């Protein structure tokens, strides 16, 4: 499963962005996150074009920064003309310090603190995505103090339960996110937002879940959201300007997975929207979306160095299992432990070899830290480089210092050049926030 610019070069090594992965591992060390810059840019352009060609009104694509965000990524997103979705003060600060235009920032979060709200208001972010009544009233007050009228989208819950892992479902009624449409609370919030003096209601927002491999949940949510647009007009006389349908399009973690292409996704979504607009008598609003994983996941590869290999007896066939240890694990990729996530991988310095041996890839943490169970990978030896595919989303973003590990380096690769965009932490970084009370000092 070669993704983006990946290929097997003449040395039999995996190559990404014109860079030999074995050489990258030697130069920068492992674990190492490798991000395929050309693929990210191509994905951004294709996604934007797919909807510009098909949607009857204006279409804006907003990159969901929670998937992967460093300052260099914010610069790339700006250069490609996308907006940026941030979900916390740290993400907002990263964007602002990278000179990302504040007017193209959407500020999410279900429990924004006062300092986060103040930062967003003072920066004049383009839209707050308001999650609840408390935030709506707090934002109105703080915008008034700043002498600003703050544009917002109201996050509503369409009551759609998508077919995905229970921990990444967000559109059902029983969720911490947004305000329910079905019980009338969302309409109350709309009516309140319209009369608050320091709030400008631009539209409504929903997000139903992540890693969706078909369009059924999006189609169901669209019908609910467009009906709600019509209801807003009927109850208030106001036709809101924007409809944000969130993100959620899935990617290939395994060769067997087959998510819709951007073009197929756009065909179905735009067709569903047009039918819903006609059915409910709604003029097409500005369409916003928030793809994150769909733009960066397949562009990321994590490199590890293989360590000890153990053969253990098991009850199941074939009666034994090979555990192959790597020099990282759940601190650089917690998703297998959190979401039962599955991955593809290859031995990067033997990328062309037959995959006729099944092994289990084990992390080095003091846990049952398994990255990949029972994968056909072929021959392995200590010192080989393992390349785990599709790690561009929610890997670096969710990395931790568990067991006081060092967060890995991230490099952008493009046309044979590798640039560090996040430096590997050192041991002093790990302890720099520690403080020893005087009574404990030796």
On whether both 182 and 212 belong to a single domain, the answer is: yes
**Do residues 274 and 302 share a domain?**
no
**Are 320 and 285 members of one domain?**
no
**What are the pLDDT digits (tens) for 365-422?**
999 899 999 999 999 999 999 999 999 999 999 999 999 999 999 999 999 999 999 9
pLDDT of 209 reads: 87
In a domain, 248, yes or no: yes
For the CA atoms of 325, 328, 334, 337, the dihedral, rounded to the nearest 10 degrees, stands at: 20
Q: Could you tell me if residue 417 is inside a domain?
A: yes
Residue 354 is part of a domain; what is its CATH number? Answer: 2.40.37.10
Condensed to tens digits (0 to 9), the pLDDT of residues 180-230 reads 999 999 999 999 999 999 999 999 999 998 899 999 999 999 999 999 999
d(CA 206, CA 179): 10
The tally of domains found in the chain comes to: 2
Among 291, 318, 353, which residue terminates a domain? 291
> Are 374 and 311 found together in one domain?
yes
- 26 has a pLDDT exceeding 70: yes
87 domain-assigned: no
- Residue numbers of the domain that contains 132: 108-291
**Residues with active-site annotation:** 366
Domain boundary among 291, 319, 339: 291
C-alpha to C-alpha distance for 151 and 320, rounded to whole angstroms: 60
What is the average pLDDT value for the chain, to the nearest integer? Answer: 95
Same domain, 123 and 139: yes
- Residue 166, pLDDT > 60, answer no
Inside any domain, residue 416? yes
One domain, residues 309 and 384: yes
Q: Give residue 328's pLDDT band: very low, low, confident or very high (50, 70, 90).
A: very high
Share of the chain above pLDDT 90, in %: 93
Cβ atoms of residues 262 and 42 within 8 Å: no
Query: Do 134 and 221 fall into the same domain?
Result: yes
Euclidean distance between CA atoms 343 and 388, whole angstroms: 7
Specify whether the CB–CB gap between 198 and 149 falls below 8 A.
yes
In a domain, 178, yes or no: yes
Do 275 and 317 sit in the same domain of this protein?
A: no
Are the C-beta atoms of 278 and 320 separated by less than 8 Å?
no
169 is a domain residue: yes
| Domain final residue pick, 266, 291, 316 | 291
| Alpha-carbon gap, residue 304 to 51, rounded angstroms | 37
The better pLDDT of the pair 250, 167 is held by 250
Q: What is the pTM of this model?
A: 0.94
| Residue 249 scores a pLDDT above 70 | yes
* Per-residue pLDDT tens digits for 281-295: 999 999 999 999 999
Question: What is residue 112's DSSP assignment?
Answer: -
Percent of the chain at pLDDT above 70?
A: 97
323 upstream amide cis, omega within 30 of 0: no
What confidence tier does 442 reach under pLDDT thresholds 50, 70, 90?
Answer: confident
Q: Is 23 helix (H, G, I), strand (E, B) or coil?
A: helix
b vs e for 180-208, b when ≥16 Cβ sit within 10 Å of the residue's Cβ?
bbeeebbbebbebbeebebbebbbbbbbb
- Do 314 and 277 fall within a single domain? no
Q: How confident is the model at residue 167 (pLDDT cuts 50, 70, 90)?
A: very low
| Residue of 438, 441, 426, 419 lying closest to 28 (CA atoms) | 419
Q: What is the CATH classification number for the domain harbouring 170?
A: 3.20.20.10
Q: Are residues 135 and 256 in the same domain?
A: yes
75 domain-assigned: no
Rounded to the nearest 10°, the torsion over CA 45, 49, 55, 57 is 80
Q: What is the dihedral of CA 117, 121, 123, 126, to 10 degrees?
A: 100
> What residues have CB less than 8 Å from 249, skipping those under 6 apart?
212, 259, 260, 262, 265, 291, 293, 294
282: left (phi over 0), alpha (psi -120 to 50) or beta: beta
Residues 193 and 126 grouped into a single domain: yes
Contact criterion met (CB below 8 Å) for 134 and 112: no
Closest CA to 329 of 357, 358, 367: 367
What are 76-122's pLDDT values in tens digits? 999 999 999 999 999 999 999 999 999 999 999 999 999 999 999 99
Q: How many Cα atoms occupy the beta-carbon half-sphere of 324 within 13 Å?
A: 27
| Residue 136, domain member (yes or no) | yes
Same domain, 133 and 163: yes
């Amino acid at each position: 499963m070669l993704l983006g610019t990946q290929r097997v070069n003449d040395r039999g090594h995996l190559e990404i962005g014109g860079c030999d992965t074995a050489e990258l591992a030697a130069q920068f060390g492992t674990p190492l996150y490798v991000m395929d810059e050309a693929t990210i840019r191509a994905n951004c352009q294709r996604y934007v074009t797919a909807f510009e060609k098909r949607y009857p009104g204006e279409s804006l694509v907003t990159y969901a920064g929670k998937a992967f965000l460093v300052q260099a990524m914010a610069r790339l997103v700006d250069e490609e003309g996308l907006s940026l979705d941030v979900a916390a003060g740290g993400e907002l600060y990263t964007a602002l310090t990278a000179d990302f235009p504040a007017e193209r920032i959407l500020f999410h979060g279900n429990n924004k603190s006062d300092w986060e709200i103040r930062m967003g208001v003072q920066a004049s972010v383009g839209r707050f995505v308001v999650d609840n009544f408390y935030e709506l009233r707090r934002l109105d007050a703080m915008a008034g103090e700043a002498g600003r009228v703050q544009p917002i989208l109201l996050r509503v819950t369409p009551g759609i339960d998508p077919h995905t892992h229970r921990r990444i479902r967000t559109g059902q009624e029983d969720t911490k996110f947004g305000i329910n449409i079905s019980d009338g609370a969302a309409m109350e919030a709309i009516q309140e937002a319209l009369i608050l003096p320091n709030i400008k209601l631009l539209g409504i927002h929903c997000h139903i879940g992540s890693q969706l491999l078909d369009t059924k949940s999006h189609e169901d949510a669209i019908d609910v959201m467009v009906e709600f647009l019509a209801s807003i007009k009927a109850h208030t006389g106001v036709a809101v300007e924007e409809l944000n349908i969130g993100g959620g399009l899935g990617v290939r973690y395994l060769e067997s997975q087959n998510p819709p292409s951007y073009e197929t996704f756009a065909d179905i979504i735009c067709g569903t929207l047009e039918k819903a607009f006609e059915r409910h008598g709604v003029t097409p609003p500005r369409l916003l979306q928030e793809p994150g994983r769909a733009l960066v996941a397949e562009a990321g590869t994590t490199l590890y160095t293989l360590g000890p290999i153990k053969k253990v007896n098991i009850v199941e066939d074939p009666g034994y299992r090979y555990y192959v240890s790597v020099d990282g694990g759940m601190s650089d990729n917690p998703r297998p432990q959190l979401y039962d996530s599955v991955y593809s991988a290859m031995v990067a310095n033997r990328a062309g070899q037959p995959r006729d041996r099944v092994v289990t890839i084990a992390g080095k943490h003091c846990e049952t830290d398994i990255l990949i169970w029972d994968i056909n990978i072929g021959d392995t030896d200590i010192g080989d480089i393992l390349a785990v595919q599709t790690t561009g989303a929610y890997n670096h973003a969710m990395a931790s210092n568990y067991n006081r590990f060092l967060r890995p380096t991230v490099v952008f690769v493009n046309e044979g050049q590798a640039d560090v965009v996040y430096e590997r932490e050192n041991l002093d970084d790990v302890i720099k926030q520690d403080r020893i009370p005087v009574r404990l000092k030796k």
